[in-house]
Structure 1
Amino acid sequence: MTPKVQSILSYIGILWLVAYFGGKQERNDLSKYHLQQGLGLWIIAVIFNIAISVIVLIVPSLAIILSAVSILFLILMIFGIINAANEVRKPLPVIGKMFEDKFDFIG
């Protein structure tokens, strides 16, 4: 698996594991960077979805917030895939800077 494919797959939820385990031999700095960004996006998305789901259980009329947050994370995922496809090392909007130096196990 090429580093470019690893970078693209790192933003697609469960396929992050395929990118991580499938390309250990061919990993470069760009793919490591996108693996960090993709894992960070996934973690933040899961935390937000759980929190908002709990809120919706309490106040069902706020269910529209759940779909709005899901669309926001979809947009961030698309930005990440575009950056990975263009082989650009650019952080995700809003949350990307938080994950640039995290997840040392990826290296």
Structure 2
Amino acid sequence: MSENANEVNADQVEMSSEEVKDVEENKAMGILAYLIFFIPLLAAKDSKFAMYHANQGLSLFLVFVAVNIIGTVIPIIGWIFIWLPGYILSMVLLIMGIINAANGKKKPLPVIGKWQLIK
């Protein structure tokens, strides 16, 4: 048995069978939450897993919007120091979130992961 299989089993032992079922049924919604955050809000509103990732996706979307606004309002300096690094950081967070959802984990994203926008 590989180490990855042991890690998954160890994570699932900490979750109830109901939570494991929720994760398995809503992984796609968790992944989709980072691309279009409102779809899980409509299609999987009873899933704690999907709602968790929808919250993370909404937080990330707001970071994208803020970076875009600041980068366009402040000419040249805003583009160099805010827009470009902001988009790179946002893309890294996006990839991290998708990986977490695909692996069935409810792990908060760095910096923005603690924001609770959806209850």
- Into which bin does the TM-score normalised by the smaller protein fall? 0.7 to 0.9
1:16 equivalent among 37, 41, 47: 37
For residue 69 of structure 1, what is the aligned residue in structure 2?
A: 86
Counterpart secondary structure, 2:110: coil
For residue 6 of structure 1, what is the aligned residue in structure 2?
A: 29
Aligned residues: 94
State the 4+ residue runs in structure 1 displaced beyond 3 angstroms. Answer: none
Q: Note the residue ranges of structure 1 that are not aligned, 5 or more in a row.
A: none
Q: CA RMSD in A?
A: 1.7
2:65 equivalent among 31, 39, 46: 46
Letter in 2 for 1:7: G
Structure 1 position 61, deviation (Å): 4.8
More contact order relative to length (CA 8 Å, sep ≥ 6): 1
Letter in 2 for 1:67: L
Q: Note the residue ranges of structure 2 that are not aligned, 5 or more in a row.
A: 1-24
Q: Quickly say closer, same or farther: Cα 1:61–1:36, change in 2 above 3 A.
A: closer
For residue 103 of structure 1, what is the aligned residue in structure 2?
A: 118
Structure 1 position 29, deviation (Å): 1.2
The answer to whether the Cα contact below 8 Å between 1:6 and 1:20 also exists between their aligned partners in 2 is no
Q: How high is the TM-score relative to the length of structure 2?
A: 0.70
Letter in 2 for 1:5: A
Letter in 1 for 2:64: A
Q: Quickly say closer, same or farther: Cα 1:81–1:61, change in 2 above 3 A.
A: same
Percentage identity across paired residues of the two chains: 38
Structure 1 position 49, deviation (Å): 1.6
Counterpart secondary structure, 2:111: coil
The answer to whether the Cα contact below 8 Å between 2:32 and 2:39 also exists between their aligned partners in 1 is yes
Structure 1 position 28, deviation (Å): 1.6
Q: How high is the TM-score relative to the length of structure 1?
A: 0.76
